[in-house]
């Protein structure tokens, strides 16, 4: 049940100037949720200020707790919020607030602690329940919702050309290193009819790309009839219009034959997958309590490339997991070197309270974690460069971002735009898809020439 300190009476500090600032740490879902909360404040007549602007009456911080670094960075941002806005009320929500509410409440300057079950109520709580800085923080917290239904998805703009649609929250897996099930709860999905309506609204608002996101979108399951992610995609791509869909992270086990068939059958779904692999060594994967093994990922990547030869394949990899010896790390490195991947996200293992792996033997020292991470960062640079060079001389559709001088290809390649007769940057109309011929690729950037005479 909800744990709430007694609310101060209405004579105490109430929001006066209706200015609010937001800061989101961690994953794409956190960023999306903070953006959606900001939209709700705007709809109620509030002005949303920059976090660094020093003039917000309320600061909302959406925290992360995936690693120790997420906890410490959340605490740093809370302190920074109070330094920049000493008279502001500070509301802390998100995964750190969910997992350690009393620890958050003990931090100087915190006025509200709002767990993930009550995140959608941030506006109501902070406007209807004013606080006095001298009082104990107001805490709204409960165990995570165990239902299998989300009443509504969350939509928000990533910028003025791309939007996100949250289709799912939580995760059913019990990986030995992960605190997300405690922070986010079991997998819960939004009814397909709700998502269809929200998706159409985003298209009507002019967005050309919609990112389907969540904590583990491969576990999407329509509450009424069991519709999976592949079937949901089939419904969405059948909508008339010029748009594209991008998928956020997927577990390798959940790239089904049905999902692969949808990816291969339409250009409305971006040829891009980001796989939560975490390791490419079987002993480490077993200790992580992951379901896939080395051979499964190799086979999946081969299947993806057979179906879509230019598909972008990215991976998350954790280095320094307990029991990862130098030899086991070399196995991971060898597999990744040989595989047709386009980029890597590398994380150093961080022991989390309430997880099994925190008590494992074979803990890896920080120096070895740092060294292994650097090895994979260098490999990631090589893989990215080699992948982007494959597009040299090709004409690709680029969605122009709001600045007009750069855009994003379906393969998740940021492209700097130049004109037909110059190597200098030029501007195109924002939120249009333009044909661009890739002319230069370096470690840091990809440059393409506008080709207006050859529309796609």
The predicted-structure confidence for 307-328, as pLDDT tens digits, reads as follows: 999 999 999 999 999 999 999 9
Residue of 169, 171, 172, 177 whose CA lies nearest to 289 = 177
Distance between the two ends of the chain, CA-based, in angstroms? 55
Does the pLDDT of residue 72 top 80, yes or no?
yes
Contact 61, 109 (CB under 8 A): no
Q: Which tens digits make up the pLDDT trace of 15-39? A: 447 999 999 998 888 888 888 899 8
Spell 6-45 as b/e; 16+ CB within 10 A means b.
eebeeeebebeeebbbbbbbbbbbbbbbbbbbbeebeeee
Mean model confidence pLDDT for the chain: 90
DSSP, residue by residue, 279-339? -S-HHHHHHHT-S--HHHHHHHHHHHHHH-TT-EEEEEEEES-TT--HHHHHHHHHHHHHS
CA distance 141 to 1: 8
CA distance 169 to 197: 19
Residue of 73, 71, 119, 72 whose CA lies nearest to 94 = 119
CATH code for the domain defined by 19-140: 3.40.50.2300
Contact 52, 84 (CB under 8 A): yes
Residue 289 has a pLDDT of 98
Does the pLDDT of residue 297 top 90, yes or no?
yes
Residue 27 has a pLDDT of 85
The dihedral formed by the CA atoms of 354, 139, 172 and 272, expressed in degrees to the nearest 10? -110
The boundaries of every CATH 3.80.30.20 domain in the chain are: 154-389
Does the pLDDT of residue 152 top 70, yes or no?
no
Residue 372 has a pLDDT of 98
Does the pLDDT of residue 292 top 90, yes or no?
yes
246-to-233, 236, 309 alpha-carbon distances in Å? 10, 12, 17
CATH second-level architecture of 395-450?
Answer: Beta Barrel (2.40)
Does the pLDDT of residue 422 top 90, yes or no?
no
The boundaries of every CATH 2.40.50 domain in the chain are: 395-450
Residue 133 has a pLDDT of 75
Q: Where is pLDDT greater, at 454 or 77?
A: 77
**Pairing verdict, β 154-157 and 138-140:** unpaired
Q: What are the beta bridge partners of residue 446?
A: 441
Residue of 106, 104, 28 whose CA lies nearest to 61 = 104
CA distance 182 to 17: 36
The dihedral formed by the CA atoms of 397, 269, 305 and 259, expressed in degrees to the nearest 10? 180
Residue 156 has a pLDDT of 62
Task: Indicate the pLDDT class of residue 157, thresholds 50, 70 and 90.
Answer: low
The boundaries of every CATH 3.40.50.2300 domain in the chain are: 19-140
Mean pLDDT computed over 1-8: 31
Does the pLDDT of residue 5 top 70, yes or no?
no
Residue 356 has a pLDDT of 96
Residue 15 has a pLDDT of 42
CATH code for the domain defined by 154-389: 3.80.30.20
């Amino acid at each position: 049940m909800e744990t709430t300190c007694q609310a101060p009476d209405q004579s105490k500090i109430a929001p006066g100037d209706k200015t609010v600032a937001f800061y989101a740490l961690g994953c794409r879902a956190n960023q999306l949720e903070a953006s959606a909360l900001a939209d709700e404040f705007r709809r109620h007549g509030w002005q949303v200020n920059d976090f660094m602007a020093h003039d917000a009456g309320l600061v909302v911080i959406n925290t992360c707790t995936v690693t120790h670094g997420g906890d410490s960075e959340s605490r740093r941002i809370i302190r920074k919020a109070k330094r920049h806005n000493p008279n502001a009320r500070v509301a802390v929500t998100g995964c750190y607030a969910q997992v350690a509410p009393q620890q958050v409440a003990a931090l100087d300057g915190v006025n509200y602690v709002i767990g993930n079950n009550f995140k959608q109520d941030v506006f109501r709580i902070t406007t209807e329940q004013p606080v006095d800085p001298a009082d104990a923080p107001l805490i709204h917290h409960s165990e995570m919702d165990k239902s299998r239904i989300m009443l509504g998805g969350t939509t928000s703009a990533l910028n003025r050309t791309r939007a996100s649609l949250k289709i799912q929250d939580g995760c059913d897996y019990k990986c030995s290193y992960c605190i997300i099930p405690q922070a986010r709860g079991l997998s819960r999905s939004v009814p397909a009819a709700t998502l269809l309506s929200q998706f159409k609204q985003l298209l009507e608002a002019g967005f050309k790309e919609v990112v389907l996101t969540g904590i583990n979108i491969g576990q999407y399951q329509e509450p009424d009839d069991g519709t999976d992610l592949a079937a949901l995609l089939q419904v969405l791509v059948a909508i008339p219009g010029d748009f594209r869909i991008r998928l956020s992270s997927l577990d390798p086990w959940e790239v089904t034959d049905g999902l692969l068939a949808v990816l291969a059958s339409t250009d409305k779904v971006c040829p891009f997958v980001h796989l939560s692999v975490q390791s490419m060594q079987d002993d480490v994967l077993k200790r992580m309590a992951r379901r896939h093994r080395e051979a499964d990922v190799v086979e999946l990547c081969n299947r993806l490339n057979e179906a879509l030869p230019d598909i972008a394949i990215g991976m998350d990899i954790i280095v320094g997991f307990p029991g990862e010896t130098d030899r086991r790390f070399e196995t991971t490195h060898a597999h990744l070197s040989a595989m047709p991947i386009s980029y890597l996200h590398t994380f150093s293992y961080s022991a989390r309270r309430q997880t099994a792996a925190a008590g494992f033997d074979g803990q890896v020292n920080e120096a070895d974690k740092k060294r292994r991470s650097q090895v994979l960062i260098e490999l990631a640079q090589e893989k990215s460069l080699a992948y982007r060079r494959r597009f040299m001389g090709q004409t690709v559709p680029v969605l122009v971002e709001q600045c007009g001088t750069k855009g994003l290809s379906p393969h998740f390649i940021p492209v700097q735009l130049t004109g037909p007769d110059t190597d200098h940057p030029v501007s195109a109309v924002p939120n249009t898809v333009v044909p661009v011929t890739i002319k230069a690729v370096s470690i840091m950037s990809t440059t393409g020439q506008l080709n207006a005479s050859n529309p796609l």
